[in-house]
Amino acid sequence: MMMKRLTRTVAALALSIGLSGAASADQLADIKAAGKIVAATEMHFAPFDILVDGEYQGICRELFDEVAKELGVTAEYLDLPWSSVLPGLEAAKFDIVNAPVTITAERMARYSFALPMGNATVALAKKAGDSSIMAPADIAGKAVGSQKGSAQLDQLKAFSATLATPADIREYVNIDEALADLAAGRIQAVANSMPLMGYAAVQRPDTFELVMPPFGDPKYFAWVARPGDDSASLIAAINEALLKMHADGRLDAINAKWLGAAPELPVEMPAVQ
């Protein structure tokens, strides 16, 4: 009697585990059946994810809305502190992270990345209307600010060393101070990641201007899903949507709207060290 009851409990347990396993075997099918995809990010990273008067806005919002449209589902967005975003993904609390996640080899090993949707390579901001800097190489011999201890500063130093006359590099604790000095005319350019520089130029078009193209080692942002076979069809569908948006110009248009210029984005997964 006791044994029988135990067997029954175990069977019921196995069944429920089996069912939940089956339910997540193909994430894309589940999402289509539910009619919605739940995406999480930290809405605290302009210009990709910001809350304006309680409404979620930014590059990632606009791009993901379009992707959801391509998938034929509605997008639902969650705001989590960054430290909870990747643990939440692993615990299957939502379908995908639609934050700009920098593609690195460590993360590649642990998650499934979609195609890049943002470019995090270093770019320059100059004073609006300054015709003496039209390309990155024009900073030769000029005063350029960047953030102390940042990866972008290293990229700037390496780039400057390749010029005939190196740039006069000034280090700032905070990138806003560098921008303030640029606005005041104490330096001629500021180097940081392309989205930050582009956003500053869009926010204050009378003061700053973005210098294209970016320089140094290319770095990209992309969305991530859980690793494994379950998410393979979802990632494939998102990539298909992104490629379609590459082709019809939506990807460039949304990036340009927020950054002032459309960054170069690869149509296949970039190699990472």
Partner 1 sequence: MDFSFGVILHNLPYLIAAAKWTLLISLVGMAISIGLGVFICAARMSRARWLAAAAALYISFFRGVPLLVQLLIFFYMLPHIGLDLPAIAAAILSVGMCSAAYTAEILRGAFQTIPAGQTEAAKALGIAPASYWRRILVPQALRLGMPSLINELILLVKVSSLASVVGIGELTRVAQNITGQTYRPLEIYIAAAAIYFVINLIISQLGRLAERRMQLAGGARLGV
What span, in angstroms and rounded, lies between the C-alpha atoms of 89 and 218? Answer: 26
19 is a site residue for partner 1 (CB under 8 A): no
Query: Whole-number minimum distance, CB 147 to partner 1, in Å?
Result: 18
Q: Which of 47, 58, 201, 221 is nearest to 124 (CA)?
A: 201
Of the listed pieces 73-81, 131-139, 233-241, 242-250, which binds partner 1 according to CB under 8 A?
Answer: 73-81
Of the listed pieces 79-87, 128-136, 139-147, 248-256, which binds partner 1 according to CB under 8 A?
Answer: 79-87
Of the listed pieces 47-55, 98-106, 202-210, 223-231, which binds partner 1 according to CB under 8 A?
Answer: 47-55
User: Which one, 58 or 116, has the nearer CB to partner 1?
Assistant: 58
Binds partner 1 by CB under 8 A, chosen from 26, 29, 30, 44? 44
Region 81-100 residues binding partner 1, contact defined as CB under 8 A: 81, 83-84, 87-88, 90-93
Give the long-range contacts of residues 80-88, CB within 8 A, separation 24 or more. 80/40, 80/41, 80/42, 81/42, 82/42, 82/44, 85/40, 85/41, 85/42, 86/111, 86/224, 88/40
User: Which one, 34 or 253, has the nearer CB to partner 1?
Assistant: 34
The residue ranges that bind partner 1 (CB under 8 A) are: 16-17, 20, 40, 43-46, 50-54, 78-81, 83-84, 87-88, 90-93
